[in-house]
Amino acid sequence: MKLFNVGFGNFVSEERVISILNIDSAPIKRLIRLAKESGNLIDASCGRKTQSVIIMNSDHVVLSALTAENLVNKISRSDIELTF
């Protein structure tokens, strides 16, 4: 299982990521609201301003304080591999 850092010591499985999006648009904000209502929202921003949203294949939505570009760079150079 390859993990990458989404900020502040929080990690997400690289294989489960569908997309990484900026938070600027109304449809993304609606997606966050719906995920919160359904209990599928994971806030990994640690109280900081949310910069990006990670959509997982498990229907979970992860909020991150890192920019989408920064997260994509982390995935492309991710070398943390854990086996469970």
pLDDT tens readout for residues 3-61: 999 999 999 999 999 999 999 999 999 999 999 999 999 999 999 999 999 999 999 99
84 has a pLDDT exceeding 60: no
Model pTM? 0.88
59: left (phi over 0), alpha (psi -120 to 50) or beta: left
At 5, list the tokens: 């850092």
